[in-house]
Amino acid sequence: MAATTEAEVFVRKAYDKSKDLVSTVKDQSSAVYEDARRWVPEHRTALAAAISAGLVGYALGRRRRRADNVFAVIGRPFAIILSPFFKMLKR
């Protein structure tokens, strides 16, 4: 019973501490959403350019991440190095 009460008190304190943060984030995100909702119809070209740049950056980042993958660089020797460990686990 004591553990349940301690957990309940812990969760209640965490909730009380987070209420201010959550309400602040909600208010600020609502304000930003309203600003964006008013800005977008007047600046469609800028929005299209920003989205295009973001998609190109995302695609380039994904391509680079695959090339820098540790397993791709090490390849087969990595599996050989770990094989004694997995053999030991099978016993």
| Per-residue model confidence as pLDDT tens digits over 39-69 | 888 888 888 888 899 888 888 887 765 555 5
pTM above 0.85?
A: no
- DSSP string over 8-63: HHHHHHHHHHHHHHHHHHHHHHHHHHHHHHHHGGG-HHHHHHHHHHHHHHHHHHHH
Q: What angle is formed at CA 67 by the lines to CA 61 and CA 68, rounded to 5 degrees?
A: 85
pLDDT band at 4 (very low <50, low <70, confident <90, very high): confident
Structure token digits, residue 90: 């099978």
Q: What is the mean pLDDT of the chain?
A: 77
